[in-house]
């Protein structure tokens, strides 16, 4: 099993460009999450999903959109990238409570 | 609101020393879960432990041990006889079961450096 995978691993964008980050999990987990990690800030939740076709906002959702058309995939979109979105993005998945979250390897995004 | 505080930003020890990482949490939930994750220099997040609010027994796994005390809202992590491979950022997290999910609220992390 691959667990949680993220595509791409690195990306550089110019301000105003758009992109989509892909997260895939092969553990048949119901729940999926997108976090961003910034120096000294820990991990902050952007959006999450409790099942196929459902999404909800987390702590820092502005500037991002998500979709979960298939149970195993969770996409994070940036419609118009800004330098403040320079960060490391982590996807995670989990079973319903009680359960720990399993994380992907991360995507390092730089917006210039 | 849920909150996790890891007051120690960075800790530096010499190999074989014992080290304790502190975690204090705030929640109004009566049922909740606490977690520790490790993030080594390679960047991935590795799950270490999950503890539920009804189980205050301390847990030991090899050189790792965890002390959960509801009375002080703390869930501290001790590494005994530290090794260089323990160098990492350690995150404490608290469950936030809103919207039917199992969201996590993370502390800001403690960077542990173990020197040879």
Q: Which of A41, A50, A58 sits opposite B108 (nearest CB)?
A: A41
**pLDDT surpasses 70 at B44:** yes
Q: Which of A42, A45, A106 sits opposite B107 (nearest CB)?
A: A42
> Could you tell me if B30 lies within 8 Å of chain A, comparing CB atoms?
no
pLDDT value of position A42: 87
What's chain B's average pLDDT? 92
> Could you tell me if A94 lies within 8 Å of chain B, comparing CB atoms?
yes
Residue B98 banded pLDDT, cuts 50, 70, 90: low
- For B103-113, write each residue's pLDDT tens digit: 889 999 999 99
Contacts of A15 (CB under 8 A, 6+ apart): A81, A82, A83, A111, A112
Q: Which of A42, A58, A92 sits opposite B108 (nearest CB)?
A: A42
Q: Left if phi > 0, otherwise alpha if psi is -120 to 50, otherwise beta: which for B16? A: left
Of residues B92 and B100, which shows the higher confidence score?
B92
* CA–CA separation, A52 and A30 (whole Å): 8
How many angstroms separate the CA of residue B61 from the nearest CA in chain A? 17
* CA–CA separation, A95 and A93 (whole Å): 7
> Could you tell me if B16 lies within 8 Å of chain A, comparing CB atoms?
no
């Amino acid at each position: 099993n691959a667990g949680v995978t993220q595509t791409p691993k690195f990306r550089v964008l110019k301000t105003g460009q758009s992109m989509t980050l892909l997260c895939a999990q092969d553990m048949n987990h119901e729940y999926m999450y997108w976090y961003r990690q910034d120096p000294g800030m820990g991990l902050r939740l952007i959006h999450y999903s409790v099942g196929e076709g459902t999404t909800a906002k987390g702590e820092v959702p502005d500037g991002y959109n998500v979709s979960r058309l298939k149970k195993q995939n969770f996409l994070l979109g940036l419609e118009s990238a800004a330098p403040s979105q320079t960060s490391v993005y982590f996807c995670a998945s989990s079973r319903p409570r009680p359960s720990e979250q399993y994380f992907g390897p991360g995507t390092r995004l730089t917006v210039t | 609101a849920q909150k996790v505080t890891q007051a120690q930003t960075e800790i530096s020890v010499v190999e074989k020393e014992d080290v304790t990482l502190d975690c204090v949490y705030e929640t109004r939930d009566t049922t909740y879960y606490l977690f520790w994750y490790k993030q080594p220099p390679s960047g991935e997040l590795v799950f270490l432990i999950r503890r539920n609010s009804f189980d205050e027994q301390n847990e030991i796994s090899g050189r790792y041990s965890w002390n959960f005390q509801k009375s002080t809202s703390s869930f501290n992590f001790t590494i005994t006889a530290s090794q260089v491979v323990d160098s990492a950022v350690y995150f404490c997290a608290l469950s936030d079961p809103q919207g039917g999910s199992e969201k996590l609220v993370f502390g800001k992390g403690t960077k542990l450096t173990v020197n040879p």
